[in-house]
Amino acid sequence: MAIFKGAGVAMATPMKEDGSINFDAMEKMIEYQIRNHTDAIIAVGTSGEASTLDDDEHLEAIRFCVEITKGRVPVIAGTGSNNTAHAIMMSREAEKRGADGLLLVTPYYNKATQDGLIASYTAIAEAVNIPCIMYNVPSRTGTNIQPETAAYIGKHVKNIVALKDACGNISQTARTLELCDGVLDLYSGNDDQIVPIMSLGGSGVISVLSNVAPQFTHDMCQKCLDGDFSGAAKMQLGSLALIRALFCEVNPIPVKAALNMMGFDAGKPRLPLTEMTEEHQASLRAAMKNFGIL
């Protein structure tokens, strides 16, 4: 059961000058996304600075996204944790607030075994009634969901329906798709690999790029879904300079700077993340101008 196909935005969480969530800016960002045909909104994931929001803020951001979106596109809530009990609590609370699905990052820092990943994901999924997406991003968590593990979970846990794959290893991604054999939808977690992954059977992307270029990212995915991989490849290659600029510092530092340049009042990231350097801001601004955003 696909939660969505195409381009879901890994939405940044805008902040006021005092560091609190800027809900007025969030509403404007959500409306901009929907107006430009984003296929899903992923709230309070990595790009949304989940790691530095307290639980009340985190859940209020999810509730607000659901309220403003009004069912026009799915809202997928980031509720993963390195503490399985905490992930269960947050997942249940997100479900109560109307989330259409959950994004569950692998436990970070603990470095769980593959058996531990199976047990943790199973426990979280069995505690809720909405579909779940596993999130594999070993560069940030130190834990890698092996293809065999993803396939086992997909075949044995009914409401784990997808994998966000940011492993960066296209051979691993291909092996995962081979072993899953359709039991999991697979979304690219890297904006520079959208078309390669969709050409292997991926369902779309959970995208940082979509924060600033939602229509473009949607259209690139739609070309893949329509079988126009030549056209999609041209778009992918044409977006690489902007993608590099959006990742020249750790996400979401650059995308918040980009949103500020676009007038969305995204504010600063919370510590330990800092504002983008002036040199990188200049490079990002140039990339956005070349892309036609500014």
Read out DSSP for 124-147? Answer: HHHT-SS-EEEEE-HHHHS----H
Closest CA to 78 of 266, 271, 252, 256: 252
Read out DSSP for 176-240? Answer: HHHHHTTSSEEEESSGGGHHHHHHTT--EEEESGGGT-HHHHHHHHHHHHTT-HHHHHHHHHHHH
Residue 16 CB contacts under 8 Å (≥ 6 apart), including other chains = 22, 267
CA dihedral 32, 47, 288, 23 (to 10 degrees): 40
Angle between helices 229-246 and 214-225 (to 10 degrees): 150
The pLDDT value given to residue 274 = 96
Which CATH architecture does the domain made up of 6-226 adopt?
Answer: Alpha-Beta Barrel (3.20)
Per-residue model confidence as pLDDT tens for the chain (294 residues): 579 999 999 999 999 999 999 999 999 999 999 999 999 999 999 999 999 999 999 999 999 999 999 999 999 999 999 999 999 999 999 999 999 999 999 999 999 999 999 999 999 999 999 999 999 999 999 999 999 999 999 999 999 999 999 999 999 999 999 999 999 999 999 999 999 999 999 999 999 999 999 999 999 999 999 999 999 999 999 999 999 999 999 999 999 999 999 999 999 999 999 999 999 999 999 999 999 999
By annotation, the residues acting in catalysis are 135, 164
Closest CA to 217 of 44, 200, 198: 198
10 Å CB burial of residue 233 (0-12, 13-18, 19+) is middle
What Cα–Cα distance (Å) separates residue 185 from each residue in 5, 47, 80, 239, 263?
9, 21, 19, 24, 35
**What is the C-alpha separation between 196 and 110, in angstroms, rounded?**
31
**What is the C-alpha separation between 7 and 163, in angstroms, rounded?**
14
How far, in whole angstroms, is CA 198 from its chain's centroid? Answer: 16
Taking the domains of the chain in order of start, what are their residue ranges? 6-226
Q: Are 147 and 179 in contact (CB under 8 A)?
A: yes
The pLDDT value given to residue 2 = 75
